Amino acid sequence: MPTRPAAHGTLYVVATPIGNLEDITLRAVRILGEVDLIAAEDTRHTKKLLSHLGIKTRLLSYYREKEMERGAEIVARLEAGENVALVSDAGTPGISDPGAVLVRLARQAGIPVVPLPGPSALTAALSAAGLEQPSFLFLGFLPPQKSQRQKLLRSLVSCEHPLVCYESPQRIQGLFADALDILGDRRALWARELSKTFEELQEAPLSELHALAAGRKNKGESVVVIHPGHASEPEGATVEELLLWYRDHSGLSLKDACRRLAADLGLSRSQVYQQALAIWDSRG
């Protein structure tokens, strides 16, 4: 009689504290102690958590640069019947942290994937933002390059939902400057060092948050929640003023802006295009 193959193991996606170690769930503690292996973004960081919890489960590093390679190794272990817990340094794996590749590989191999809900900087900040809208747009970390960050923000000027993003301490001032310039002086929540000793939440117009960030040395990663605005074309504006508005606030390309403006005003597209070229070329 042929030997029956062993059942696949289970991949547990485990949320861990973003600062305060008391924020871990009882279920997460139990699973981390029961699995055969913990795949961790940084094993040194996770060892501190496991030591605090009195857990001695084996660790394997699983970080962004090695996601595919380590993912294949972990899937092989799962196929052999081992149970594996996936954790990031803080919060929920796969949300601006490594994890998506392993989850996808596991699903493709027919391995059960079980999420363990828990801490997330995203939901923590939103819960303190006082938003009445039932929806929001999560952007993760914005592009580090200024030009790419500005391009993304321009495409979101007319977005009717609150914008939520993560940002590093080195780029937070630049984010506020670009958001103020492109989105206008909207209200925003700046949540820094959530659940840690120096947790700070500031709600104010972007101009005030920019001044605050510029006036001190910023530490720790941040979550920024920007309230929606009400962008619209300026009334009674000249063609040049309208082109400036389209350039800075519409998110449209030069070609698309010319097409729309020419159609709206009944002008020659080539005439509008020549004016637009000079305006687009003058952007800093």
Per-residue pLDDT tens digits for 227-274: 987 555 555 678 888 888 778 766 667 887 888 788 777 778 888 888
What's the first-to-final CA gap in the chain, in angstroms?
76
Examine the domain organization and report whether 105 and 186 are in the same domain.
no
User: 166 and 246 in one domain?
Assistant: no
Identify whether 202 is part of a domain: yes
Indicate yes or no: pTM above 0.85. Answer: no
> Where does a domain end: 119, 153, 172?
119
Shared domain for 97 and 42, answered yes or no, is: yes
Q: Is the pLDDT of residue 5 over 50?
A: no
Task: Classify residue 41: in a domain, yes or no.
Answer: yes
What domain range is 38 assigned to? 11-119
- 106 and 200 co-located in one domain: no
10 pLDDT exceeds 90? yes
Asked if residue 271 belongs to a domain, the reply is: yes
Among 119, 154, 179, the domain boundary falls at: 119
Structural domain total, the chain: 3
- Per-residue model confidence as pLDDT tens digits over 192-206: 999 999 999 999 999
Same structural domain, 256 and 180:
no
- 135 within a domain of the structure (yes/no): yes
Residue 1 belongs to a domain:
no
Q: Which of 197, 226, 255 is the last residue of a domain?
A: 226
Checking if the pLDDT of 177 tops 90, the result is: yes
Residue 35 located in a structural domain: yes
